[in-house]
Structure 1
């Protein structure tokens, strides 16, 4: 039988982790996190990472695999996720990939272009130049090199901007050339294991039916994070002295706003408002991306008391059918 895996995507605060754990109570699954903040050790509260008790009961792969000072690319995620999928299939488990980092899912399911590996020396050189001339100037440099890439890379997405410049510095080719090669290599939607088997995916997307309800959930969750010690968690990161606000870990939603507060750039009330607003913007981007994703089984989430149960039953029914094919 063809290997099978389940994907659970959705905006922040929509119930992805809960749904994955519900599946784990009913099937022999292996949960694989696809979250670009949960990868970091010591960043627990602000990433809504499952607590120790949940992780003991429902282990998640690819959580706590990096120090906040380290980078982690979508290519590395794809490599690690495929390794976890292979291990799960070998054990007779169903891989369940769950998270909200759209780029991770895109790279996993669409494949990766044959791009040069990242090198610390080139990356450090780009960072040094950016500190000297500023990131806006670096963006204009990329525009002159690769205007196609600039159409999909936001000026504030410093990680993708830096990577595009790095690829050009190492290979002498624009990163968009590599993207074009990827689009034509016929791998879209497939994950091939080392033994040649192709994994079949059932892809769920949680879509809140009531935007006001989602906004309420986001505000409530951010307040709960503050009550749970988010400020103290970020202070530990700040006191390390080796992290700066250009790093992906520090730029993460919620962490960036508390970082600004601790550095005296805003009041507590402003920090809270900015954190909630940034989380809402993230959720909006995630939902926009999901609406464009082909082959998605949409699950509606909302304020109705029975809506979560309905979402669960729909998921269980589709998973049962999928695994029997």
Structure 2
């Protein structure tokens, strides 16, 4: 029997994924599944560009608002949750439409995951304490001594990824690469059409990113971070507060950067994030590339979708 269809719409931040997804969901019997590691956090709405209540009433999203900003969510958890939601959507006679820009989640869904050691809260706390005392570059140097391949891919201040790589190294005595080399491809039980939005003009994407961050600031991003700090027990090392925008607002509230620099630092960090997303896309196979800045990108999207859904 032919596998049921699914659509995966991915691309860098501010590339227009949301608008195209809503157009698809308007014209086709699609249910949206979020592929966004920031939108899983409750009460983090402005800085994650989460749809408002009226939009969610019209276009319900699965896999948003799953956990508090105090908690952690993994690519493995996403894959399990996404496959469950996709099965439920298919059983209802509809088409799963997965939308987002968390490329690690995309890779996990399409290819499966390496059998990495489970997270160890005590060891993570120790690593975070070492980073607080000596700085993440010092942990990066440790990683470079024992796992130079992974260290070469990470920037010295990439706290989240350095933490995980060092954690795996200390828990198992093995490098991340050795686990990935053993990874078995586990394709999901769906015919997935992967549409990748790749803007042809990087300058326009940068302009959009600036406008988007300005809109977040105007909507109250800083006040949102103040609220989160008051409501939850947070620290700068949590994945929620490492999200672009939140990290810069946190640093400003802590007095580490002046308010006058918040906007420029947030925009720069978002541009760097988009650059990393585009790098991920270059390394992925079986994509249908669409330029969202073209005259009629929706026509290209529907041409690809119509072909994919044809009996």
1:301 alignment counterpart: 292
* Structure 1 residue 162, shift from structure 2 partner: 1.8
Segments of structure 2 that go 5 or more residues without pairing to the other structure are none
User: RMSD between aligned alpha carbons?
Assistant: 1.9
> In 2, distance between residues paired with 1:83 and 1:156?
35
1:71-128 Cα offsets, whole Å, 9 max, x none, are 2222221222122222222222211111111111112112111222223233333333
2:222 alignment counterpart: 231
1:136 aligns with 2:122: no
1:219 aligns with 2:210: yes
1:311 aligns with 2:302: no
Change (3 A) 1:241 1:25: closer
C-alpha contact (below 8 Å) 2:70/2:232 kept by paired residues? no
Give SS of 1:298's match: strand
* Structure 1 residue 313, shift from structure 2 partner: 1.7
Output aligned runs, 1:43-82, within 5 Å.
43-82=44-83
1:221-270 Cα offsets, whole Å, 9 max, x none, are 11111111111101112334621222221121111122222222333331
> In 2, distance between residues paired with 1:117 and 1:64?
23
* Structure 1 residue 133, shift from structure 2 partner: 4.1
Change (3 A) 1:271 1:172: same
1:320 aligns with 2:311: no
> In 1, distance between residues paired with 2:214 and 2:69?
23
Identify which of 191, 199, 202 aligns with 1:208. 199
> In 2, distance between residues paired with 1:155 and 1:80?
32
> In 2, distance between residues paired with 1:219 and 1:131?
31
Output aligned runs, 1:231-250, within 5 Å.
231-240=222-231, 242-250=233-241
Segments of structure 1 that go 5 or more residues without pairing to the other structure are 192-197
> In 2, distance between residues paired with 1:129 and 1:270?
28
Change (3 A) 1:115 1:63: same
* Structure 1 residue 212, shift from structure 2 partner: 2.2
Could you state the TM-score of these two structures normalised by the residue count of structure 2?
Answer: 0.92
Change (3 A) 1:140 1:295: same
> In 2, distance between residues paired with 1:278 and 1:128?
25
Change (3 A) 1:57 1:64: same
Identify which of 257, 266, 272 aligns with 2:263. 272
1:7-52 Cα offsets, whole Å, 9 max, x none, are 1111111110111111111222121111111111111011111111
1:105 alignment counterpart: 106
1:164-199 Cα offsets, whole Å, 9 max, x none, are 2222333343222111101xx343xx21xxxxxx31
C-alpha contact (below 8 Å) 2:69/2:232 kept by paired residues? no
Change (3 A) 1:117 1:93: farther
